[in-house]
Structure 1
């Protein structure tokens, strides 16, 4: 097994989290989830990070849970604990990070790997990538937030079709259905992902975190509740230096120079 199955690399204000078990299509072990959670904690506490990329090494993004991980899979009584103690915290961390998180899906995203991609804020995939909600193929249900994200993204009919049949769909279809932001040619993938990350890193980080929060809670609220959320978060955004810069740049007809606070 790769000695360092989770890599954390920095390029200026962009942090790149890499699932690094290419020989196993980056399938997840409990140890990887622990390391991924620790890396997300480090990013959360680092205000110099203004955009995050989550991707995989080799020809796969993530093939899901490694079924040969005996600690996770041999004792069926421990399955609930694995989900609650290892998967759920990572999903919550991805959703609550103040920085925008890009899922750079460079190949197959199956099972928990698909859920991991959907938990990110923006997913961009190579045209050759495939998405598979394949839990049913081993007699399990979608976890990692899969049963939450899918119907909200593609509607109940498609969510049930993907979940009950466990069949993969191509990246182009995933984009047409609204499962991901877009698919791009394999040859343009790295360039387009890097450009997207740099663009997000140059934007007002505080406002992005507040936008994420507003959209994430909207599905549970009435219109009146969400209007109240918007008023509260807008007041917070208006207190930031980036708002002052954005307003000044608009009035002066120049490009804003956001500093991320």
Structure 2
């Protein structure tokens, strides 16, 4: 069920390291195989950690650090979700920029079902994505809902038939890969930072980033391509 464990966290971070140091990589896809995208933390492992002094809290801090790195990663991050995304699995997809879900996907917090609290940001990020009222319902009831129910929120970008999930994500990645890497990085920063500051401050930040981007090779390449009536050839980030 792809439960979150120290090994899974290390694997996620290794994938980010590889993406960051490989020229030409333009996006990261979080995907899985099996019956679940991620069913949350391995509770047997959690029980062992709780028996150790400070073990569980150390695990939560490490999980939180990796999740923040995914959220703040300079490349666009897309979650391809099939099956269950519960508890820590929900917290994982909350860190993605885009979430493409299969019809089979079911999403929920589920911590309350076992007397647990979110420890990977679920109670903080979820209200920002689905609104406080719906977040409270999901957190308090532990309900698991079809992904399609979240299309009217900022949680799920698209829902597609299971057999088309990989192709649908590939199409999005192909579109992103044709864009300016430095431009996308700046856009991602602006969206994230802009949500945390007053609009007037965000608008000033946007102007500052726009001025900086005008000095980039990608800006010149984009304009040159437009006037030459050809596709732009952007460099690596």
Determine if the TM-score, normalized by the shorter chain, exceeds 0.5.
yes
Q: Report the equivalent of 2:55.
A: 78
Q: Report the equivalent of 1:9.
A: none
1:210 is the counterpart of 2:168? no
Match of 2:85, SS state, is strand
1:237 is the counterpart of 2:208? no
Match of 1:141, SS state, is coil
The answer on whether the counterparts of 1:37 and 1:89 sit within 8 Å (CA) in structure 2 is: no
Aligned CA RMSD, in angstroms, stands at 1.8
The answer on whether the counterparts of 1:103 and 1:122 sit within 8 Å (CA) in structure 2 is: yes
Large movers: runs of 4+ above 4 Å: none
Aligned counterpart for 1:191 among listed residues 146, 150, 167: 167
Aligned counterpart for 1:38 among listed residues 10, 14, 17: 14
TM-score normalized by the length of structure 1: 0.84
| CA displacement at 1:104 relative to structure 2 | 0.4
Instruction: Pick closer, same or farther for the CA change 1:145–1:45 going to 2, 3 Å.
Output: farther
| CA displacement at 1:76 relative to structure 2 | 6.9
1:176 is the counterpart of 2:146? no
Q: Distance in 2 between matches of 1:249 and 1:48?
A: 19
Match of 1:119, SS state, is coil
Instruction: Pick closer, same or farther for the CA change 1:76–1:159 going to 2, 3 Å.
Output: farther
| CA displacement at 1:92 relative to structure 2 | 1.6
Q: C-alpha deviations, 1:15-34, integer Å up to 9, x for none?
A: xxxxxxxxxx1111112212
The answer on whether the counterparts of 1:91 and 1:116 sit within 8 Å (CA) in structure 2 is: yes
The gaps in structure 1 that reach 5 residues or longer are: 1-24
| CA displacement at 1:177 relative to structure 2 | 2.8
* 1:87-236 alignment runs, 5 A limit: 87-236=63-212
Of 194-203 and 36-45, the range deviating more from structure 2: 36-45
Q: Distance in 2 between matches of 1:190 and 1:35?
A: 21
Q: Distance in 1 between matches of 2:42 and 2:60?
A: 14
Report the count of equivalent residues.
236
The gaps in structure 2 that reach 5 residues or longer are: none
Q: Distance in 2 between matches of 1:204 and 1:112?
A: 32
